[in-house]
Amino acid sequence: MAREGRKLLAVIEGESVFPPPIWIMRQAGRYLPEYRATRAEAGGFLDLCYNPRLATEVTLQPIRRYGFDAAILFSDILVMPDALGQPVRFAEGEGPLLDPIRLDEVGRLDPSRIDAHLAPVFEAVASIRAKLPAETTLLGFCGAPWTVATYMIAGRGTPDQGPARRAALSDPEGFQRLMDLLVEASVRYLARQIEAGADAVQIFDSWAGVLDDLEFGRWVVEPNRRIVEGLRALKPEARVIGFPKGAGAMLEDYVSRTGVDAVGLDWTVPLSYARDRLQPRTAVQGNLDPLRVILGGRPMEEGIDRILAELGQGRLIFNLGHGITPDADPETVGRLVERVRAARR
């Protein structure tokens, strides 16, 4: 089995494990009272991300409470533009805010700032790994270039990321320069996380689903492929999970062309499609609807059981189809973990 008996890493590396390993996107977050207390101590959200002691603490909180098979570094995908020189701030009730960047301003972004600016993140990774149980996989992550670029151009999240889509269609050469810079920066960032102790990394492409198939190939598949290739050139042992949310029928192309070791599935992906078309090629991760966790009881139990029945014969990492929401009940999450771990083939 993989390093120190880490079940989740074993699945990524080719084993089928049942009951499957489990973690939950945004498992360190506002639904936990202990997180809210630590967040209040930190002050601002980015202050929490850049404080190695507090970032370590919130990363470990769900591991202590639930014993998940993986911990994921507590940080944010937008530390990248912040490190490049496009300051990010988080306004209460508004989410992330940036001063929108024009494509003719990309040259003022500075990748050489990454190591120094994100040093607290690498320190947190090392601290987390030192304090985790030996059998727990540690995941690092970054935002995919397309998703990060959507925030950089619009200055905030928008319903359909129209500003970035317009920029990519009207000035593809200028948009390519931004994507090239983000690919280079992401490779460097993930390699440093692996050096600090991450066992594997996840690339979050949360806005992949707003693109047509042609643009998806250019702005999602190709940048993710280059990150995987560039990271493995630096760190041949690197293991990568890709999460192109909303990719739908384009998931097969994403998996085959990027070379990811596992693919995250949102809750709209049919389980039969995942079983027949994706699992023979790679490990799959997901994909319980977060709303089922809010409801708990029969809706959650039926969702869990169906995923295990359809995907449990192959390489599966049990997770949600997106991040857990702040209104989730911690006790319900505990029951989710118990039901997955009590499953039998």
Q: What is the 3-state secondary structure (H, E, C) of 39-65?
A: HHHHCCHHHHHCCHHHHHHHHHHHHHH
Tokens 């992906």, located at residue = 269
Residue 272: which residues within 8 A CB-CB, separation 6 or more? 310
Residue 335, Cβ density class (10 Å: 0-12 exposed, 13-18 middle, ≥19 buried)? middle
To the query of whether residue 66 is one of the catalytic residues in this protein, the response is no
Strand partners, 221: none
Q: Active site residue: 30, 177, 257, 339, which one? A: 30
Tokens of 26: 């945004």
Provide the 3-class DSSP secondary structure of residue 285: strand
Q: Active site residue: 76, 171, 180, 253, which one? A: 76
Residue 201: which residues within 8 A CB-CB, separation 6 or more? 139, 140, 141, 142, 190, 193, 194, 231, 238, 239, 240, 241
To the query of whether residue 35 is one of the catalytic residues in this protein, the response is no
Cβ count within 10 A of residue 182: 28
Contact 212, 173 (CB under 8 A): no
Phi, psi of 88, deg, nearest 5: -115, 140
Tokens of 223: 């940048």
Pairing of strands 240-244, 262-264: parallel
To the query of whether residue 281 is one of the catalytic residues in this protein, the response is no
Cβ count within 10 A of residue 301: 14
To the query of whether residue 273 is one of the catalytic residues in this protein, the response is no
Of 297, 335, 341, 302, give the one whose Cα is nearest residue 318. 341
Contact 168, 175 (CB under 8 A): yes
Q: Active site residue: 31, 66, 151, 189, which one? A: 151
Q: Active site residue: 31, 35, 39, 50, which one? A: 39
To the query of whether residue 171 is one of the catalytic residues in this protein, the response is no
Half-sphere exposure of 308 (CA within 13 A, CB side): 21
Q: Active site residue: 26, 165, 188, 239, which one? A: 26
The residues annotated as belonging to the active site are: 26, 30, 39, 76, 151
